[in-house]
């Protein structure tokens, strides 16, 4: 059973927070997020494809950080099952995002795996 103290969940929180911070300041050589930053253009193109009604610059920064992390995990890292990654992203959005974040993230990531 997943708990909030699960090390994988904690790692995702740290990565999401750093990706959020990356939007406001250039973070380089951070082992936690450097692979994601290295592929950010490819990740953002995927986000544009799965959420065409929302331009990248209009997506809430925290939602964008969660999406970038999840898209990276789903398409490049592939260390966990798709359902686990999506569930974690939705949980992060419930904890850190706005009221509609979870629905938006779930729909966008669902479109990605179809």
Residue 25's pLDDT band, with cuts at 50, 70 and 90, is confident
Q: How far is CA 97 from CA 15, 21, 30, 49, 68, in A?
A: 15, 15, 24, 21, 14
Mean pLDDT of the region 91-113: 95
Q: Which two tokens stand for residue 68?
A: 């970038």
Record the tokens describing residue 37, joined without a space.
């930053």
DSSP letters, 29-65, are S-TTTHHHHHTHHHHHHHHHHH-TTS-GGGS-HHHHH
Please tell me what DSSP assigns to residue 25: S
Section 20-35 average pLDDT:
87
pTM for this one?
A: 0.92
- CB-CB contact of 80 with 73 (8 Å): yes
Domains and CATH numbers, the chain: 7-113 (1.10.940.10)
pLDDT at 3: 64
pLDDT tier at 1, thresholds 50, 70, 90: very low
For the segment 22-44, the average pLDDT, to the nearest whole number, is 90
77: which DSSP letter? I
Return d(Cα 68, Cα 37) in angstroms, integer. Answer: 9
Distance (Å, whole) CA 114 – CA 109? 9
Residue range 42-99, pLDDT digits in tens: 999 999 999 999 999 999 999 999 999 999 999 999 999 999 999 999 999 999 999 9
């Amino acid at each position: 059973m997943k708990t909030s103290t699960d090390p994988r969940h904690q790692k995702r929180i740290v990565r999401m927070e750093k990706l959020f911070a990356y939007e406001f300041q250039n973070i380089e050589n951070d082992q936690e997020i450097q692979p994601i930053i290295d592929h950010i253009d490819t990740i953002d193109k995927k986000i544009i494809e799965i959420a065409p009604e929302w331009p990248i610059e209009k997506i809430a920064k925290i939602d964008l950080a969660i999406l970038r992390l999840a898209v990276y995990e789903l398409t490049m890292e592939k260390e966990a099952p798709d359902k686990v990654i999506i569930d974690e992203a939705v949980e992060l959005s419930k904890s850190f995002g706005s009221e509609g974040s979870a629905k938006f993230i779930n729909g966008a990531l669902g479109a990605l795996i179809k």
